[in-house]
């Protein structure tokens, strides 16, 4: 899977999303449920939640400002422990390096724990091309993989759009499942099936929540413990990380992990928080004999130093998605990117280009709900607004009619005389469309408005006229 | 106290009742209200759509118009916030940034002005009816005004208040979003209308004319009997 998950037009995807009543029920339920849990462990429980956010933001900004330094430190520490580090500027480079490892190790069976960056670089496609059997071991990702590579619709809960009956059907069709749709039975079956895969695997691939520069460690946050098996059993391990996902020391890691779990799933901590350092050492009882860290740039360094830099602070908690009123109604697939919701609407055009993702910055009311919850204080709604400005001013991708309208706005609104004249004419101009005190079928930009709502007819006496008359004592 | 009214273009053209109520209310509370007729639109529609150059022209006219004011008051949280954003828009401009900053510093949304500047929590209004209140996103999240409208409504005699479920969720207006993404906007406003109905209120009250136009316009299209009122109209009734 690449970052782009659909070739359909944005509006068609939205239509499908809106009409998928099951998905919408699931999303609304999840948003409401997670919203309550998140509030409990953030603002309710920590009276100084804002201080935590400030601190987390500071940590992320510090790392971005000193990224070179920390990446070097991380690489050195990993090398010292006998691990291999590869810095991939593009997704092709990342895939080529991993292909090399796979070939050298003659790996055929691969287990993976959840990783968005490997989706971004289409790693699985390359591995399958190599003839490997790749198994996603995060339950959500496993379900999607079985279901003919259905794309994820959320960065933390990838199968959010599926209900248990749908999951039962996928299991029945693909892995001979014969039991009921109770979550326990489904999970048990997946667990038994996956256990075999872990034992057989010759290569394990993980993502990385945070890498710790000072020690050359990396940290994985899960609720299922699958990442622990991916890293404990296979002889070779490859960890793939976005180049910005690191922290200076364990102290900062602890802060960010806490911010992540609280914001992502409303938990103080998740069931498993695993920190691993390099390959197996003499006295270790498990762990890989060979360890590779692939650090992926894939467009990230182009964002550094621009007005969009703060999006690299993101710790992929998904809180912004969980409060987004637009995501609520259209679901993840409508965004056409593996990164949906507000974070996706900011990130996808940066990493994937405006051609494919230019609609996303407009799929927001700029209500600011995302900005309010982001644990690392990314001004998401402002970044969406910046995208719009870039699309209009630099990319020239705005529709012609809109440009003309806005030009007229610039002239009209900037000139009190024109504004005065135009607004005085409004009731006359709108007269043909006005029935009683409302417009039900408006012209021009009002057409879309009146498709679903009434528009008020302009007042015959504008407020300003009333005020003027009153001043003259004419009320 | 002298107040310079920033009426907003929506109120000027479509909701003159709201403007009238605002003037009468402020006067009753002892303010002297002026309305500079050279005021235009605050530039928000163009600005939010990414047309910053065009928006800046409107913004400059607004700065010139309101510069002399002691207090600028607007019956719209979103438009008041736009004024507060001006310094950010003109950041780095040696002439306009400081002028924008001065403007921003003296701009208030109506209920904010009444509670925080005038120090009044009971405006002596009487309004018989069952009311729910829509908290607009820009007013609460961006301008940061949450309590003042609640305090003022609570002290209106005769008014029965029911909180709106999911009140923090956007109504689906979003300026040009409402016409650019009309299909999504429809879903959002429908959920809002549904929650308004759930309260059993006869009146939906808000402090932002644009959100009210959206929710009200949808309720009217759907034939819902619930009336929409701006908070100035409620506070001005006796
Ligand atoms: S942008 Fe903020 S809220 Fe959204 S996923 Fe990233 S860290 Fe979480």
Strands A434-435 and A438-439 come out as: antiparallel
Looking at domain B121-235, does it have CATH number 3.40.50? Answer: yes
Number of Cβ within 10 Å of residue B10's Cβ equals 22
Mean pLDDT, residues A125-137 taken together: 96
pLDDT tens per residue across span A52-95: 999 999 999 999 999 999 999 999 999 999 999 999 999 999 99
pLDDT tens per residue across span A283-302: 888 889 999 999 999 999 99
Query: To probe the interface with A, which of B24, B40, B43 has the most A CB atoms within 10 Å?
Result: B40
The CA A201 to ligand 1 mean position distance, Å, reads 33
Token output for B56 = 């800046």
Largest CA distance in chain A: 96
Residue A44: band (very low, low, confident or very high) from pLDDT cuts 50, 70, 90: confident
Among B3, B13, B81, residue whose Cα is nearest residue B44: B81
Residue given tokens 């012209």 in the structure block: A443
Q: Which residues of A touch B221 (CB under 8 A)?
A: 440, 452-454
pLDDT given for residue A394 in this prediction:
81
Token output for A369 = 């709900």
B32 burial (CB, 10 Å; 0-12 / 13-18 / 19+) is exposed
Residue A43: band (very low, low, confident or very high) from pLDDT cuts 50, 70, 90: confident
Task: Determine whether the annotation assigns residue A324 to a binding site.
Answer: yes
Instruction: Nearest by CB to A416, from B11, B38, B179: name it.
Output: B38
Residues A77, A291: contact at Cβ < 8 Å? no
| Rg, chain B, Cα only | 17
pLDDT given for residue A409 in this prediction:
67
Mean pLDDT, residues A361-378 taken together: 97
Residues A326, A369: contact at Cβ < 8 Å? no
Cβ neighbors of B94 (< 8 A, separation 6 or more) are none
Q: How many CB pairs under 8 A join A and B?
A: 196
Determine which helix (DSSP H) or strand (DSSP E) holds A230, and give its type and residue range: helix A226-232
Mean pLDDT, residues A116-140 taken together: 96
Ramachandran area for residue A16 (φ above 0: left; ψ -120 to 50: alpha; else beta): alpha
Q: Is the pLDDT of residue A462 over 70?
A: yes
pLDDT given for residue B13 in this prediction:
87
Q: Which long-range contacts (CB under 8 A, 24 or more apart) does B164-167 make?
A: B164/B132, B164/B133, B164/B134, B164/B135, B164/B195, B164/B196, B164/B199, B165/B195, B165/B198, B165/B199, B166/B191, B166/B192, B166/B195, B167/B133, B167/B134, B167/B135, B167/B195
Using the Cβ of B173 and the Cβ atoms of chain A, whether some distance falls under 8 Å is answered with yes
Determine, for residues B61 and A416 on separate chains, whether the beta-carbon distance falls below 8 Å. yes
The CA A319 to ligand 1 mean position distance, Å, reads 6
Residue of B nearest to A368 (CA): B141
Percent of chain A with pLDDT strictly greater than 90: 77
Task: Determine whether the annotation assigns residue A367 to a binding site.
Answer: yes
Using the Cβ of B217 and the Cβ atoms of chain A, whether some distance falls under 8 Å is answered with yes
Q: Which residues of B touch A384 (CB under 8 A)?
A: none
DSSP letters, A97-129, are HHHHHHHHHT--EEEE---HHHHHBTHHHHHHH
Using the Cβ of B189 and the Cβ atoms of chain A, whether some distance falls under 8 Å is answered with yes
Token output for B27 = 């006067």
Residue A412: band (very low, low, confident or very high) from pLDDT cuts 50, 70, 90: low
CA distance A105 to B13: 73
Residue of A nearest to B88 (CA): A382
Cβ neighbors of A218 (< 8 A, separation 6 or more) are A208, A209, A210, A211, A212, A239, A241, A275, A276, A277, A293
B129 has which bridge partners? B159
CA distance A365 to B211: 11
Q: Which residues of A touch B52 (CB under 8 A)?
A: 389, 392-393
Bigger pLDDT: A400 vs B12: B12
A211 has which bridge partners? A218, A246
Residue A438: band (very low, low, confident or very high) from pLDDT cuts 50, 70, 90: confident
Q: Which residues of B touch A398 (CB under 8 A)?
A: 49-50
Split chain B (238 residues) into runs of 10 and give each run's mean pLDDT: 94 92 97 94 89 91 95 96 96 97 97 98 97 96 95 97 96 92 96 97 96 96 96 96
CA distance B15 to B8: 10
Please, which residues 84-123 of chain B have a Cβ atom closer than 8 Å to chain A?
A: none
Distance from the Cα of B230 to chain A's closest Cα (Å) equals 15
Atom of ligand 1 nearest to the CA of A319: 3
The CA A106 to ligand 1 mean position distance, Å, reads 38
CA distance A346 to B185: 20
pLDDT given for residue A471 in this prediction:
82
Token output for A197 = 């895969």
Determine, for residues B184 and A419 on separate chains, whether the beta-carbon distance falls below 8 Å. no
pLDDT given for residue A1 in this prediction:
65
Number of Cβ within 10 Å of residue A203's Cβ equals 27
Residue A27: band (very low, low, confident or very high) from pLDDT cuts 50, 70, 90: very high
Using the Cβ of B180 and the Cβ atoms of chain A, whether some distance falls under 8 Å is answered with yes
Q: Which residues line the pocket of ligand 1, CB cutoff 6 A? A: A 263, 314-320, 343, 373-376, 378, 380
Cβ neighbors of A352 (< 8 A, separation 6 or more) are A3, A4, A337
Instruction: Nearest by CB to A362, from B11, B142, B180: name it.
Output: B180
Residue A309: band (very low, low, confident or very high) from pLDDT cuts 50, 70, 90: very high
Summary mean pLDDT of chain A: 92
Please, which residues 327-356 of chain A have a Cβ atom closer than 8 Å to chain B?
A: 328-330
∠ CA A464-A469-A474 to the nearest 5 degrees? 155
Residue A123: band (very low, low, confident or very high) from pLDDT cuts 50, 70, 90: very high
- Helix, coil or strand: residue B160: strand
Percent of chain A with pLDDT strictly greater than 70: 98
Residues A375, B8: contact at Cβ < 8 Å? no
Using the Cβ of B26 and the Cβ atoms of chain A, whether some distance falls under 8 Å is answered with no
DSSP class of residue A82 equals T
**Which residue intervals of chain B bear CATH 3.40.50?**
121-235
Domains of chain A and CATH, by start:
66-298 (3.40.50.10420), 400-472 (no CATH)
Residues B77, B109: contact at Cβ < 8 Å? yes
Residues A398, B50: contact at Cβ < 8 Å? yes
Task: Determine whether the annotation assigns residue A208 to a binding site.
Answer: no
């Amino acid at each position: 899977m690449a970052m782009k998950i659909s070739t359909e037009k944005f509006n068609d995807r939205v239509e499908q999303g809106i009409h998928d009543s099951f998905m919408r029920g699931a999303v609304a339920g999840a948003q409401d449920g997670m919203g309550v849990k998140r509030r409990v462990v953030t603002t309710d429980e920590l009276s100084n939640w804002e201080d935590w956010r400030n601190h987390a933001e500071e940590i992320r900004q510090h790392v971005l400002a000193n990224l070179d330094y920390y990446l070097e430190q991380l690489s050195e520490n990993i090398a010292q422990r006998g691990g291999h580090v590869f810095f991939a500027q593009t997704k092709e480079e990342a895939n080529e390096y991993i292909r090399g490892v796979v070939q050298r190790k003659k790996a055929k069976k691969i287990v993976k724990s959840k990783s968005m960056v490997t989706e971004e670089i289409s790693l699985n496609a390359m591995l399958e091309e190599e003839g490997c059997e790749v198994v996603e071991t995060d339950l959500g990702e496993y379900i999607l993989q079985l279901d003919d590579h259905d794309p994820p619709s959320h960065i933390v809960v990838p199968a959010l759009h599926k209900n248990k009956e749908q999951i039962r059907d996928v299991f029945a069709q693909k892995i001979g499942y014969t039991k009921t749709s109770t979550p326990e039975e489904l999970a048990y079956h997946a667990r038994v099936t996956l256990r075999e895969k872990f034992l057989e695997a010759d290569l394990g691939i993980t993502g990385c929540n945070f890498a710790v520069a000072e020690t050359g460690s990396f940290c994985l946050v899960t609720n299922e413990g699958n990442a622990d098996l991916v890293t404990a059993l296979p002889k070779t391990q490859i960890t793939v990380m976005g180049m910005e996902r690191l922290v200076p020391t364990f102290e900062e890691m602890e802060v960010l992990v806490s911010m992540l779990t609280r914001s992502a799933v409303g938990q103080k901590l998740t069931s498993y928080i695993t920190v691993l350092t390099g390959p197996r050492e003499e006295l270790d009882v498990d762990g890989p004999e060979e360890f590779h860290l692939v650090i992926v740039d894939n467009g990230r360094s182009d964002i550094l130093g621009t007005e969009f830099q703060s999006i690299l602070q993101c710790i992929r908690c998904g809180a912004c998605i969980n409060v987004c009123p637009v995501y609520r109604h259209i679901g993840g697939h409508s965004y056409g990117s593996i990164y949906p919701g507000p974070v996706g609407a900011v990130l996808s055009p940066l990493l994937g280009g405006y051609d494919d993702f230019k609609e996303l910055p407009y799929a927001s009311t700029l209500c600011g709900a995302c900005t309010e919850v982001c644990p690392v204080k990314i001004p998401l709604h402002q970044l969406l607004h910046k995208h719009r400005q870039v699309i209009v001013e630099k990319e020239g991708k705005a529709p012609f009619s809109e440009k003309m309208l806005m030009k007229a706005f610039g002239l009209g609104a900037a000139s009190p005389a024109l504004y005065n004249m135009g607004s005085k004419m409004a009731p006359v101009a709108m007269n043909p469309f006005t029935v009683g005190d409302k417009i039900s079928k408006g012209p021009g930009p009002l057409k879309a408005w009146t498709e679903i709502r009434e528009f008020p007819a302009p007042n015959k006496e504008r407020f300003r006229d009333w005020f003027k008359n009153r001043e003259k004592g004419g009320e | 106290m002298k107040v310079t009214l920033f009426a907003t273009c929506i109120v000027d053209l479509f909701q003159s009742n709201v403007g009238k109520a605002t003037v009468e209310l402020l006067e009753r509370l002892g303010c002297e209200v002026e309305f500079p007729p050279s005021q235009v639109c605050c530039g928000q529609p163009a600005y939010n759509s990414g047309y910053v150059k065009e928006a800046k022209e409107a913004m400059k006219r607004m700065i010139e118009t309101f510069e002399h004011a002691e207090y600028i008051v607007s019956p719209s949280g979103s438009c008041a916030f736009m004024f507060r954003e001006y310094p950010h828009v003109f950041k780095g401009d040696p002439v306009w940034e400081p002028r924008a900053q001065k403007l921003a510093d003296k701009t208030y949304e109506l209920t904010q002005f009444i509670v925080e500047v005038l120090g009044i929590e009971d405006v002596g209004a009487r309004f018989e009816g069952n009311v729910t209140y829509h908290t607009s996103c820009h007013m609460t999240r961006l301008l940061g005004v949450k309590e003042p409208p609640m305090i003022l409504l609570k002290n209106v005699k005769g008014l029965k208040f029911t909180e709106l479920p999911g009140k923090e969720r956007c109504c689906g207006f979003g300026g040009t979003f409402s016409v650019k993404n009309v299909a999504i906007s429809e879903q959002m406003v429908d959920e809002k209308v549904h929650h308004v109905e759930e309260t059993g209120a006869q009146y939906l009250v808000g402090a932002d004319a644009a959100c009210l136009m959206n929710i009200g316009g949808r309720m009217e299209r759907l034939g819902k009997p619930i009336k929409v009122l701006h908070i100035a109209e409620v506070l001005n009734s006796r």
